[in-house]
Amino acid sequence: MKRILIEDFREVEIPVPWGFISGRWYGNQEVRPILAIHGWLDNLGTFDRLIPLLPDYIGMLCIDLPGHGRSSHLPPGINYGVYDLVYIIPTVVKHFGWNKVSLMGHSLGGIMSFAYTAMAPDTVDMVISLDILLPMRVENGLAIEMFSNYQERLLVEDDRRKVAEKDRKPPSYTLAQMSKNVAEASLDAVTEDLAHHLLHRQVKKAHNHPDQNKFYYSRDGRVKYFNYWDIDTGLGGEMARRIGNKPYLVLKGSLSLHLQPRCDEIFSILAKGNPHFEFYQVEGGTHHLHLQSAEECARYIVPFIQRHRPQKNQSYQEKGSKL
């Protein structure tokens, strides 16, 4: 099997009312690719280690969500919400003129993929979900405290942005410090030696800093305080029933807690009478299993792609596509 070359890509900018969605289209440019969506606070670099393990006959379009990576930030006064980000999927589909979409999502990207597939099942031909299905449940008391805290922090972030724009000196750090921050924030799901895969798209050199080895975070600080969207088991079950017998692959990291027991019922609905539903646990895998254990993930992802997007069915250019 020939694999995608990580250096074989073209930069993509998809226009949106507030700017653009940035992305990289890896591999084959002549057929509809798989749309890959990263997790919260990450960017398309999260797929760096997985992409070179995938078959080259079908490309991968990896995007940065708004406010993440190199995509435009939302306008001042507009906050980030999980539900609202689902809108990005049909935006990409419409831009390229696709009749269908194949989805791969990690964490937040997996929640978006589940939600969109339930909303528009006839437009999705397969889903690959990495260590997620439903959002993690937050207890009511903690949820209220978290929402209140987020509102306060958003106000602080707005003030910080105004000051940074005025004096052009945002808080700056060395790459070593940033790598350590990434590891700590992810509870070592992304270790310091893997952090560069995420940092290369979300930091910029602090040219106005006296220390030329300092960098600052270029992503929108407001994404840290997004509007949480809980999907209770009842709603999740109805969404799963709408998805029907869709090819659906879920991978779980054995060391991760993101697939909570409340997802079991949703799994049962997705799997019932569906020969195309697959679930596997990656031993030793963390929440970022596709970055930490890319080879093990590819063992399941590659045959799934080959079954549901086989090479023989990939035409030179899909009818109605704008490539």
pLDDT in tens, 14-30: 999 999 999 999 999 99
Map out the domains of the chain as residue ranges: 9-137+230-313, 140-225
- The angle that helices 233-243 and 264-271 make with each other, rounded to 10 degrees, is 20
| Confidence check: pLDDT of 230 > 90 | no
Long-range contacts of 290-293, Cβ-Cβ distance < 8 Å, separation of 24 or more: 290/46, 290/47, 290/49, 290/50, 290/106, 290/130, 290/251, 291/46, 291/47, 291/48, 291/49, 291/50, 291/190, 291/194, 291/197, 292/189, 292/190, 292/191, 292/194, 292/253, 293/253
User: What are the two backbone dihedrals, phi and then psi, of residue 52, each rounded to the nearest 5 degrees?
Assistant: -70, -5
Q: Cα(227)–Cα(3) distance, rounded to whole angstroms?
A: 38
| Whether the Cβ atoms of residue 46 and residue 109 lie closer than 8 Å to each other | no
Residues 256-277: b if buried by 16+ CB within 10 A, e if exposed: bebbeeebeebbebbbeeeebb
User: Would you state the pLDDT for residue 168?
Assistant: 64
Average confidence (pLDDT) over 110-115: 96
Residue listed under structure tokens 């539903």: 277
The pTM is what?
0.92
Residue listed under structure tokens 């490539």: 323
**Under DSSP, is residue 280 helix (H, G, I), strand (E, B) or coil?**
strand
Q: Cα(80)–Cα(84) distance, rounded to whole angstroms?
A: 7
Catalytic status, residue 148: no
| 191-225 tens-digit pLDDT | 999 999 999 999 998 877 666 789 999 999 889 88
Radius of gyration of the chain from its Cα atoms, rounded to whole angstroms? 19
Amino acid at 294: A
Number of H helices, E strands in the chain: 10, 10
User: Would you state the pLDDT for residue 159?
Assistant: 74
What is the chain's mean pLDDT, rounded? 90
Pick the catalytic residue from 107, 113, 172, 186: 107
User: Would you state the pLDDT for residue 54?
Assistant: 98
Who's near 116: CB < 8 A, 6+ residues apart? 86, 89, 90, 103, 124
User: Would you state the pLDDT for residue 12?
Assistant: 97
Greatest Cα pair distance, the chain, in angstroms, is 63
What is the DSSP-derived secondary structure letter of residue 133? S
Q: Cα(98)–Cα(80) distance, rounded to whole angstroms?
A: 26
**Under DSSP, is residue 214 helix (H, G, I), strand (E, B) or coil?**
coil
C-beta neighbour count of 199 within 10 angstroms: 18
Strand partners, 7: none
Q: How far is CA 262 from CA 96, 163, 182, 219, 237, in A?
A: 36, 44, 29, 33, 11
Provide the CATH number for the domain formed by 9-137+230-313 in this structure.
Answer: 3.40.50.1820
| Confidence check: pLDDT of 319 > 50 | no
| Confidence check: pLDDT of 167 > 70 | no
